[in-house]
Structure 1
Amino acid sequence: MSGEAGCLVEEAAYLAVWLIGLFGIVGTVCVYVAKMVIQDSTSYDEQYVWKRKLPPEAGGKR
């Protein structure tokens, strides 16, 4: 009986390690995407994406 219980504990440990690794990777990606979105600005979009400059009354800090 102890051999079967040891196998279950070993499988649970493998599952825990895989889940910690998976959530670590997903969490890291989420942090970097959030930083990128927070640092995004309208002036950057105007200069590099839209290739134009909007009048000051059309934009502003959000």
Structure 2
Amino acid sequence: MSGEAGCLVEEAAYLAVWLIGLFGIVITVCAYVAKVVIDDTTDYDERYVWRRKLPPEAGGKR
């Protein structure tokens, strides 16, 4: 291919690579944020964020 058609194919290839990379980064960040949210517990917040202890009957995930 030569001329304008070859240039369009090259630009489309660059666009595809950039989009794959961008979506890869976004998906990776979303996966890590989801893991943090899923693993978050009230017990952890009470103990390390708010510096107080939960009563024994409130243990575990809520």
TM-score of the pair, normalised by structure 2: 0.84
Instruction: For 2:52, give the aligned amino acid.
Output: R
Give the whole-Å Cα distance in 2 for the aligned partners of 1:44 and 1:61.
9
Identity of aligned residues (%): 87
In 2, the alpha carbon distance for the partners of 1:58 and 1:21 equals 44
How many pairs are equivalent? 62
State the match for 1:37 in structure 2: 37
AA of the residue aligned to 1:15: L
Gaps of 5+ in 1: none
Q: How far does residue 60 in structure 1 lie from its aligned partner after superposition?
A: 6.1
Rounded to whole Å, the distance in 2 between the matches of 1:10 and 1:19 is 14
Measured in 1, the distance between the counterparts of 2:47 and 2:17 equals 45
Name stretches of at least 5 consecutive residues in structure 2 with no aligned partner: none
Q: Which protein has greater RCO, CA pairs closer than 8 Å, 6+ apart?
A: 2
CA distance in 1, matches of 2:58, 2:31: 31
The 3-state SS of whatever aligns with 1:53 is coil
- TM-score, normalised to structure 1's length? 0.84
Q: Which amino acid aligns with 1:16?
A: A
Query: What aligned pairs does 1:1-62 form with structure 2 within 5 A after superposition?
Result: 2-55=2-55, 61-62=61-62
